[in-house]
Structure 1
Amino acid sequence: MSNSFKVPHTLILLLSMMLVAYIATWLVPQGAFETVTLENGRQSVVPGTFTLSEEQVRLTPMDFLVAIPRALAAAQDIIFFVFIVGGVLAVARATGTIDALIGNLLHKFGHKPNLLIFMVVFCFAMTSGAIGTAGEYIPFVLILVGLCKAMKLDAMTAVGMVVTGYGIGYGVSAFNPFTVMVAQSVAEVPVYSGIELRLAIFIPFVLIGFHHVWSYAKKVLADPAQSMTADLPCPLAGNDKVGYPELKLHHKLVLFGLVATIATAVWGISQKGWYLYELGALFILWGVFTAVIGKLDADTAAQQFIEGVKDLATTAMLIGVARGIALIMEDGQILHSLVYNMSYPLSYLGSELAAVGMFIMQTFLNLFIPSGSGQAYVTIPLLAPVGDLVGVNRQVVVLAYQFGDGFSNMIIPTNAVLMGIIGMAGVPYHLWFKFCMPLILKLMAAASVVLILAVMFGYGT
């Protein structure tokens, strides 16, 4: 490859994908399944009802351009949550709390980076698997970036810990209410059934993720030039320190406020159906509490908040444009066509290969249907009957869906949470892809083995 080759900016990559989706709306036959409205108000497709559209929708270049601001509007919840988190974390940093926390963690784990990496991957995977947390991890990104920098690691290691835990947690979740419960309900199998296998594979998959991140981290520790982000500016904007303040009482109170905020968020998500708007409100409250406890005057707190928001303008733009890819395909009425044409050949495969094929199909479709529950309502009604025909138990169909949806969350650029995390850490998407793709292949290989064995040994029968 020529040394003059330059990887385009992540924004250009996303816009190029939007353009490909736009061109596809002119080439791919348009069609749709009939849908029914379920008791929970969600739309679910009806198997066997796919028909090609009589009138073709032809999106104009103006439609393509309009899709960009529409996509920004559609992603407003995650965009403004990222803005709020960035602003509030800047306020917390101004009180010295984050630097004091990093210093404290450095004292405890500075000589045990492997233990730190395992703990973060394990805890994030466990939380995602239990209650479906994702965007809630964004506040931890800069803290981990600062900690990794102090430990002679890099931003890629920090992002690797967060995203690996998040993706594996979703992929092998035992009882995630947004994926497992929804998919099992749609597939008409008992909710939370088959939990024994999912619990059994949790630690092995976490260890695969930990090994990948730690193998990279060891190379960076041995030779900082091996860092994939060595030539990039630090996202801490010069606020990284050599010496760290002592963790004093007011710092501990601010951290207690953060823990209380996260705990309240978890309760609200599980019990009240809260999501990003409510979480944003909680972080605003924590920001006010932090400014008061940290004895920041109102003007200083406001200025720090605005500075934190400004630093994330690029991230917000990437999140919005990423949503535009699926929007174009929905407008062009080719999403159901892709689902139909991918699911149809599975009926001609043997049961083991069909299970793996379902997993690969779900992985690909997650690029265009980044919502886990949304993907379940579109694909499970189609794949469950196919499974019945070829001898793939519906429990295995749900497992294939989980693997495809969860693991690919770690790498698809249409995932707003992923783009928020790497954007906050200052890691370009092409470098993250290079880091993450080998891990995805390892996880896919392991997941395929699990699916084949699940079919062979009658999992779910």
Structure 2
Amino acid sequence: MGKGIRIPHTLVLLLGMMFIAYIATWVVPQGFFETITLENGRQAVVAGTYTVAQDQVRLSPFDFLVAIPRAFAAAQDIIFFVFTVGGILAIARATGTIDALIGSLLERFGTKPQMLIFMVIFVFSMASSAIGTAGEYIPFVLILVGLCKAMKLDAMTAVGMVVTGYGIGYGVSAFNPFTVMVAQQIAEVPLYSGIELRLAIFLPFVLIGFHHVWRYMRMIQADPSASYVVGQPCPLAGKETLDYPKLNIRHKLILLGLIATIATAVWGISEKGWYLYQLGAMFILWGLFTIIVGKLSADEAANKFIEGVQELATTAILVGVARGIALIMEDGQILHTLVHAMSLPLSHLGAELASVGMFIMQSILNLFIPSGSGQAYVTMPLMAPVSDLIGVNRQIAVLAYQFGDGFSNMIIPTNAVLMGIIGMAGVPYSAWFRFCLPLILKLMLAASIVLMLAVFFGYGADVQPV
């Protein structure tokens, strides 16, 4: 950074983006597609039905201000999940379990941080690819921050492991029920079809992510002052432990409770359609179990829980404001206009370049529609017929969608899960952007090559609707 250049606070950046979205509602033509209600109750747009709105909406400055508390209400599920997890982890830390776990992991990986980085990215990618986990990683953030600090690394390394695993898992998912399955259903190609290619590219993309985080780790090992978060307060300030307690039977029982909680959450997600409310309830149950096994008094547990919640107030505010950007665009009737305008140029490209264009378009639209399934319902009904016109198989259109949704999730500030993760780790968005942008460019290049080869070799021709 040049001398005198000052990066605004993440909250300032998000409010600025929200204001730009508000100004855009006065400048961008307003319009919408017709929508239909699917069997699952979700709304999907109807291709070829875009019309300019007859009744133009003019949002007043007061509407802009009202959108801020509305955004907090719209993001309440992730906000209260973050609060719940933060409070419960503070209780677990009070029992010594978190410190004992960090000490145990240090004994195993203290001299081999590269193994830790690969394992975390690989396992998180596998979970996101298989069952669409994302917010479930938030409980691991502070544990990994503490572990990295003990290894003389920084919070950025910890966040890099978590977000890289999450983003790559979504991007190259084999059968994520919230993205791939939804998109294939809308594109009218058989569910789980084309899985061979997605499985084949999984490890190469994981290795790209691992190499990026590993290189950063080596850089700060050689020169700690090169850290992108040097001088930033650590979320564990004053709580770093030098003499880690040994894992005793109580600690192991509490950790087994955490494993059971996560396993039950995975089952609930895949079998019962659970989401953050149910996951929050499971963590509260684990918290009660932790209080009993850890022999904490009711008052001590209450105080620790509140301390944990207080430490995440900034994170909750960022998550809420991030939701307001898309909310403003929806209110101002310009979201569908942007989707329509971005889909038009694809018809003027050759099939190979058009597949890459689809990928880029989905990446940009993810800024405004950060929900994976929500983006599928808005864009896939358009991309499927567009792909037919330009000679791109619908299976490739699905692949372009999941690349665009997954990889861009790692960097867009409207992604509430990302903002929750970096907020919990105390990493400013500007620093994260600096770390993540080169990785995104590498992943986009690799994804573009995969898409063009997929077009060249006729990927998805066997399931293309006639």
TM range (shorter): over 0.9
| Aligned equivalents of 2:356, 2:30: Cα separation in 1 | 27
- Residue number in structure 2 paired with 1:253: 253
1:428 aligns with 2:432: no
Q: Alignment length, in residue pairs?
A: 461
Q: 1:417: Cα distance to partner? A: 0.3
Cα displacement string for residues 300-348 of structure 1 (whole angstroms, at most 9, x for unaligned residues): 0000000000000000000000000000000000000000000011111
Segment of structure 1 superposing worse, 223-232 or 243-252: 223-232
Q: 1:230: Cα distance to partner? A: 1.7
Cα displacement string for residues 134-172 of structure 1 (whole angstroms, at most 9, x for unaligned residues): 000000000000000001111000000000000000000
| Aligned equivalents of 2:233, 2:332: Cα separation in 1 | 40
- Residue number in structure 2 paired with 1:189: 189
SS of the equivalent of 1:49 reads coil
- Residue number in structure 2 paired with 1:384: 384
SS of the equivalent of 2:352 reads helix
Identity of aligned residues (%): 77
SS of the equivalent of 1:36 reads strand
1:305 aligns with 2:298: no
Cα displacement string for residues 102-153 of structure 1 (whole angstroms, at most 9, x for unaligned residues): 0000000001100110000000000000000000000000000000000111
Alpha-carbon RMSD: 0.6
Please give the residue correspondences for 1:74-113 in structure 2 after superposition, counting only pairs within 5 Å.
74-113=74-113
SS of the equivalent of 1:324 reads helix
SS of the equivalent of 2:36 reads strand
1:213 aligns with 2:189: no
| Aligned equivalents of 2:264, 2:307: Cα separation in 1 | 27
Q: 1:237: Cα distance to partner? A: 2.5
SS of the equivalent of 2:254 reads helix
- Residue number in structure 2 paired with 1:235: 235
Q: 1:2: Cα distance to partner? A: 4.7
| Aligned equivalents of 2:36, 2:284: Cα separation in 1 | 39
TM-score by length of 1: 0.99
TM-score by length of 2: 0.98
Whichever residue aligns with residue 321 of structure 2, its letter is V
- Residue number in structure 1 paired with 2:464: none
Cα displacement string for residues 44-71 of structure 1 (whole angstroms, at most 9, x for unaligned residues): 1111100001121000000000000000
1:354 aligns with 2:377: no
| Aligned equivalents of 1:402, 1:111: Cα separation in 2 | 36
Please give the residue correspondences for 1:167-178 in structure 2 after superposition, counting only pairs within 5 Å.
167-178=167-178
SS of the equivalent of 1:238 reads coil
- Residue number in structure 2 paired with 1:322: 322
Any gaps of 5 or more consecutive residues in structure 1?
Answer: none
- Residue number in structure 1 paired with 2:441: 441
| Aligned equivalents of 1:225, 1:3: Cα separation in 2 | 17
| Aligned equivalents of 1:78, 1:43: Cα separation in 2 | 22
1:18 aligns with 2:21: no
SS of the equivalent of 1:47 reads coil
Q: 1:241: Cα distance to partner? A: 1.1
SS of the equivalent of 1:241 reads coil
| Aligned equivalents of 1:429, 1:290: Cα separation in 2 | 33
Whichever residue aligns with residue 455 of structure 1, its letter is V
SS of the equivalent of 1:300 reads helix
Segment of structure 1 superposing worse, 225-234 or 281-290: 225-234
1:135 aligns with 2:135: yes
